[in-house]
Amino acid sequence: MKPLESLRSWMASEGLQVTIIPSNDCHFDEYVPARYKVREFLSGFDGSAGTLVVTAAKAALWTDSRYFLQAERQLAGSGISLMKIKMPGTPAIPQWIASECEPTATVGVDGDLFSYDDFAAFETELKPIKLRTFTDPFDMLWQGRPSLGENPIVLHKEEYAGRSVAQKYRDVTARLAVDGPFCLFLSACDEIMWLLNLRGGDIEYNAVTLSYCLLTDKGITLFCRKENLTAEAAAYLASQGVEVRPYGEIDAALAALPEGATRIVSNNCCSINKYSIFRRGGHVIPDPTVGGTVAMLRACKNPVQAQGFRKAFLQDGVCWVRLLKHIYDNYDSGTLNEYGITQKLLEIKSGSENYQGESFEPIVAWNANAASAHYSFSDEASSARVNGGGFLLMDLGSHYPYGTTDTTRTIFLGDKEPTTEQKEDYTLVLKGMIALAQAIFPAGTRGCQLDILARGPMYRTGKMYFHGTSHGIGQWLCVHESPQIRMEYSPITLQEGMIMSDEPAVYVEGGYGIRTENVIHVRKHSQTEFNTFFDFETLTLVPIDRRAVDYSLLTENERMWLEDYNKRVYEMLKDHLTDAESAWLLNYIG
């Protein structure tokens, strides 16, 4: 039986007329372990965002504009309709369900995959159609469903983390400032890894293990696959007074919390199942910290962590110079392609001391391929040959135990000169990147207030990019974490120690994509009678290509910034490079 038919049989046996299958796992992480790619298994669509809705007769998949083309291709012949989110005429999921079902129908969702907020919203919008939860039936329906594997859970040493778990426990409880018994329930894996100085390997590119955590007035209890803890990690947790219990015992532990203890959910992504158990027997209060107590403590890197990031970016710079030299040395041979460059990159990186793998899927995109912000080629054969001249965009990042990198450079290759439009686009992106990097701002400033600095220069040509300008970066964790700098409002303020990207871009469909990304670190700039002011330290140490710079568009200040930056890159890297590499770099930065 085909997957959808198996699901429908199961639905009939459960008395469900509809099921909604989201893309996330129980922890609402950005990426999902293979075991939880149920929506992909059922629909064949493997984009990162999409919601599948199945009725007895029909099925439809909602996804956003990033995935329209891919979804059309992958859904062809499946009988699943594509629902293009935010396009005119596309119904919302509850509307569509109402049009397909009797008012007496029942919709089922996996109560561990639906957040409390989403469940409540759907419940209201679906009325009179009923919404109820079920428990993951896919072990039965999905032949050969991947297991979570036996990825070790390792210690993240204090020499990198900068603080012990006991210290973090005190930091968190001080910030929560609850009187009497309380329990903070954590279900975001990267928050738990940060709190417990652990790292895992359950999710590609993200060094986390699937886990839950309860932090109470008595101490910390971790719920994970205990057997995967290394001896070192287990001993460390014991030394810090952390109790470790099996992953599957979280529901029982939530149910057994002391009556009356104040309950706090660390963020909005608590599932309806867990929330329903958690709120029994005690009042749930919102997390007192905007953005989440644990998430904000994690976002503000301490000096030990910041030093680790500096080291990681030094190694990142060395790898980049090797890769760039390889590209320039071999460009004329006509043998380069996107695949080969990616392989070369991984080869270079694998020789970098303490390298723990890439922090996201590498992007190597030639000309028009770079016009989609998250391009990846599917295999060697389909990867583009890098010749004929143009822009090569590379967005690459690595994990080291002490820091995670994320760097984008766009270089102009070939004998032909860049066109006026290409130079203007490249230079305006660079101006935006420099403007944000040079910002000085008072305490209390939110990301959306600084966003215009990165975007503003490009607006002059009527162009804009549709992604955020900046995201926080985890330390050997998730490369995307809070805070963000975006056009959209978020109440999170920028605070000392935050490490984040600075990545304005421009995408010309059918032409090219240009993105220049440095990573910046919020530091104290001054303390005056008016306020505390912050500025950014630039951590990235990768030369910026000058071939497509139109100097007439740069101010004197920007020209000097660029020159000083490339000089600093050379000075910082030269002792870590071979003579040939060092000479190449000196020549490259002019």
Considering only residues 555, 563, 571, 578, which one is a binding residue for a second copy as defined by CB under 8 A? 555
Cβ proximity to a second copy, 350 vs 419, nearer residue: 419
Phi-psi domain of 367 (left: phi exceeds 0; alpha: psi -120 through 50; beta: other): left
Strand-pair category, 390-396 with 407-413: antiparallel
Considering only residues 463, 471, 480, 515, which one is a binding residue for a second copy as defined by CB under 8 A? 463
Provide, rounded to whole angstroms, the least separation between the CB of residue 131 and a second copy.
26
Provide, rounded to whole angstroms, the least separation between the CB of residue 469 and a second copy.
11
Provide, rounded to whole angstroms, the least separation between the CB of residue 373 and a second copy.
14
Residue type, 206: N
Considering only residues 330, 449, 495, 582, which one is a binding residue for a second copy as defined by CB under 8 A? 449
What distance in Å separates the CA atoms of residue 223 and residue 254, rounded to the nearest whole number?
Answer: 11
Cβ proximity to a second copy, 231 vs 530, nearer residue: 530
Provide, rounded to whole angstroms, the least separation between the CB of residue 531 and a second copy.
6
Cβ proximity to a second copy, 465 vs 584, nearer residue: 465
DSSP string across 171-233: HHHHHH---SSEEEEE--HHHHHHHHTEE--SBTTB-----EEEEETTEEEEEE-GGGB-HHH
Bond into 88 cis (ω within 30):
no
Q: Is 40 in the site for a second copy (CB under 8 A)?
A: no
Closest by Cα among 168, 206, 169 to 190: 206
Give the containing element (helix H, strand E) for 537: strand 532-538
With CB under 8 A, what is the number of residues at the site for a second copy? 32
Q: Is 371 in the site for a second copy (CB under 8 A)?
A: no
Considering only residues 121, 440, 560, 583, which one is a binding residue for a second copy as defined by CB under 8 A? 440
Provide, rounded to whole angstroms, the least separation between the CB of residue 574 and a second copy.
31
Which residues partner with 229 through β-bridges? Answer: 153
Which residues partner with 132 through β-bridges? Answer: 108
Q: Is 526 in the site for a second copy (CB under 8 A)?
A: yes
Cβ proximity to a second copy, 88 vs 144, nearer residue: 88
Cβ proximity to a second copy, 245 vs 525, nearer residue: 525
Write the interaction track for a second copy spanning residues 51-80; mark x where CB under 8 A is met and - where it is not. ------------------------------
Strand-pair category, 219-224 with 243-246: parallel
Q: Where are the beta strands (DSSP E) in 206-323?
A: 212-216, 219-224, 243-246, 262-265, 284-285
Q: Is 442 in the site for a second copy (CB under 8 A)?
A: yes
Contacts of 351 by beta carbon, 8 Å cutoff, 6+ apart: none
Q: Is 452 in the site for a second copy (CB under 8 A)?
A: yes
Q: Segment 287-306, which members bind a second copy (CB under 8 A)?
A: none
Q: Is 527 in the site for a second copy (CB under 8 A)?
A: yes
Give the containing element (helix H, strand E) for 133: strand 130-134
Q: How many CB atoms lie within 10 A of CB 544?
A: 20
Stretch binding a second copy (CB under 8 A), from 295-303, 313-321, 365-373, 450-458: 450-458
Q: Is 510 in the site for a second copy (CB under 8 A)?
A: no
Q: How many CB atoms lie within 10 A of CB 517?
A: 23
Q: Is 489 in the site for a second copy (CB under 8 A)?
A: yes
Considering only residues 176, 411, 448, 573, which one is a binding residue for a second copy as defined by CB under 8 A? 448
Residue 166 in tokens: 């006991």
Q: Is 166 in the site for a second copy (CB under 8 A)?
A: no
Provide, rounded to whole angstroms, the least separation between the CB of residue 3 and a second copy.
40
Provide, rounded to whole angstroms, the least separation between the CB of residue 559 and a second copy.
11
Q: Is 579 in the site for a second copy (CB under 8 A)?
A: no
Provide, rounded to whole angstroms, the least separation between the CB of residue 94 and a second copy.
21
DSSP string across 401-467: TTEE--EEEEEEESSSPPPHHHHHHHHHHHHHHHHHHT-EEETT-BHHHHHHHHHHHHHTTT---SS
Stretch binding a second copy (CB under 8 A), from 247-255, 259-267, 393-401, 527-535: 527-535
Closest by Cα among 26, 61, 57, 27 to 41: 61
Cβ proximity to a second copy, 234 vs 452, nearer residue: 452
Cβ proximity to a second copy, 238 vs 440, nearer residue: 440
Q: Is 551 in the site for a second copy (CB under 8 A)?
A: no
What distance in Å separates the CA atoms of residue 400 and residue 349, rounded to the nearest whole number?
Answer: 11
Would you tell me which residues interact with a second copy (CB under 8 A)? 439-442, 444-446, 448-453, 456, 459-460, 462-464, 487, 489, 491, 525-528, 530-531, 533, 555-557
